[in-house]
Amino acid sequence: MWRVLFNALPVKVNLERRGIVEYASCPHCLFASEDIPHAFWFCSKAKKVWKLTALWPLLAGFPGGSFADLFCWVVDFGVGDDFQSFVLVRWSIWIARNTFVFEGKISSSKDIVDRAGRSWMNFLLASSSHIGFRDRVLMTPVWAPPLVGSIKVNVDASVVESVDYFAIGIVGRDHEGNVLFAIAKYLSENFSPHFVELLAVKKGVRMAIQFQESHWIVESDALTVIKSIQSSNPFAQDDLVAQEIRTACSNSVDASIIHCSKKINQVAHLLASRCLQLKCNILFKDTIPIFLKKTVIFDRPL
Ligand SMILES: [Zn+2]
């Protein structure tokens, strides 16, 4: 990152100055000279990438200035993991630019964000302790696969308040994004939406352990549920279920319960809502129902 801040990256303008290239035009848009602010911010290609990330609301408020100013803006006003995300996406834009210049390979904006997301996930997994409870909202709006040998289970619940039935959707995928199982359960009880989401996590954990006893991740978009699992509250009525999940985590070598955005959780969401519509259970193993195909393909890592 310091090379960016000190204008020491071999962008076209710097190469032209040293007589290495004849023209300094941006290889992507051919519209402007490729200096550091252009390559990472002003270029329409770079803008498209930033817009796909969860950083965009923060970046869109940037009043303008040099790339170093943008960097300081993220340091000053970013929250949580914004800074790390910024560095990774910037890095991924640079990799994409180089593979285009040197190998002629075009990366889509989604490819670029995905690569940053994968690096982020690998970093999180590498830095996780034995039991990793993580409540981060993932940086990218895309689903990230687990590491090789691990399984990721996404869970979601579909509830209509004040009726006495609900549905839970659970999908398990491997490191290549292959669907190992897709399940939706229709249950006839009148529970609160919070409790139903908690049950979805519990069932997801059970399924994960069945498939991959000690290395698994369960992902849910219900933040309050993840929080209630993280911190024991003996006064909470549902703490027994949360405790069961905590125990399952601590009995596994590398287990995590992660919070994700709703966008990332689309497959589990579709399963649950379709199940609620049909009022019957859905069970697919090593294959997927047609109504999920498009979303699963969209989630697939490149
Ligand atoms: Zn450009």
CA of 47 to the centre of ligand 1 (A): 10
Whole-number pLDDT of residue 292? 86
CA of 44 to the centre of ligand 1 (A): 6
Greater pLDDT, 187 or 119: 187
**Each residue's pLDDT tens digit, 162-196:** 678 899 999 999 988 899 999 999 998 888 888 99
Most confident among 10-19, 124-133, 165-174 (mean pLDDT): 165-174
| Residue 159 zone, left/alpha/beta (φ > 0; ψ -120 to 50; rest) | beta
In angstroms, the CA 40 to CA 293 distance is: 34
Whole-number pLDDT of residue 4? 58
At 7, the pLDDT band (50, 70, 90 cuts) reads low
- Does residue 159 share a domain with residue 263? yes
- Does residue 98 share a domain with residue 15? yes
- Does residue 188 share a domain with residue 96? no
Q: Is the pLDDT of residue 25 over 70?
A: yes
CA angle 165, 154, 267 (to 5 degrees): 75
Mean pLDDT of 59-87: 85
**Each residue's pLDDT tens digit, 234-245:** 666 677 898 899
At 69 the three-state DSSP class reads helix
- Residue 191 DSSP symbol: -
- Does residue 144 share a domain with residue 112? no
Greater pLDDT, 4 or 261: 261
At 1, the pLDDT band (50, 70, 90 cuts) reads low
The pLDDT > 90 percentage for the chain reads: 25
Whole-number pLDDT of residue 234? 66
| Residue 7 zone, left/alpha/beta (φ > 0; ψ -120 to 50; rest) | left
Least confident residue range of 106-120, 127-141, 229-243 = 127-141
CA of 118 to the centre of ligand 1 (A): 25
Name the token pair of 186: 């229709």
220 to 141, 178, 238, 286, 290: CA distances (angstroms): 14, 19, 17, 22, 23
DSSP string, 205-224: HHHHHHHSSSEEEEEES-HH
CA of 300 to the centre of ligand 1 (A): 28
- Does residue 221 share a domain with residue 193? yes
Q: Is the pLDDT of residue 131 over 50?
A: no
At 197, the pLDDT band (50, 70, 90 cuts) reads very high
CA of 41 to the centre of ligand 1 (A): 9
Q: Is there a domain that residue 124 lies in?
A: no
Contact status, residue 288 vs residue 182, Cβ threshold 8 Å:
yes
Whole-number pLDDT of residue 53? 87
φ and ψ of 164, to 5 deg: -100, 35
Residues 6+ apart with CB under 8 A from 256: 128, 131, 132, 133, 134, 216, 217, 218, 249
Sign of the dihedral through C-alpha 30, 32, 36, 41: negative
- Does residue 243 share a domain with residue 161? yes
- Mean pLDDT, the chain, integer: 83
CA of 111 to the centre of ligand 1 (A): 18
- Does residue 81 share a domain with residue 37? yes
Whole-number pLDDT of residue 133? 43
Residue tagged 């369960």 (tokens): 218
Number of domains in the chain: 2
DSSP H or E stretch at residue 233: none
CA of 101 to the centre of ligand 1 (A): 13
CATH for 253: 3.30.420.10
**Each residue's pLDDT tens digit, 133-149:** 444 433 456 788 888 88
- Across the chain, where does the E strand assignment appear? 131-134, 151-159, 166-173, 179-187, 215-220, 254-259, 282-285
Q: Is there a domain that residue 125 lies in?
A: no
- Does residue 161 share a domain with residue 282? yes
- Does residue 264 share a domain with residue 144? yes
- Helices then strands, each counted (H, E), the chain: 13, 7
- Does residue 291 share a domain with residue 142? yes
At 2, the pLDDT band (50, 70, 90 cuts) reads low
CA of 66 to the centre of ligand 1 (A): 16
Mean pLDDT of 201-217: 92
Q: Which domain holds residue 78?
A: 2-119
Q: Is there a domain that residue 76 lies in?
A: yes
- Does residue 280 share a domain with residue 141? yes
In angstroms, the CA 24 to CA 3 distance is: 19
CA of 23 to the centre of ligand 1 (A): 13
Q: Is there a domain that residue 191 lies in?
A: yes
Least confident residue range of 29-38, 200-209, 264-273 = 29-38
Whole-number pLDDT of residue 262? 87
- Does residue 108 share a domain with residue 145? no
At 227, the pLDDT band (50, 70, 90 cuts) reads confident
Which of 75, 94, 119 is the C-terminal boundary of a domain?
119
Whole-number pLDDT of residue 240? 85
CA of 32 to the centre of ligand 1 (A): 6
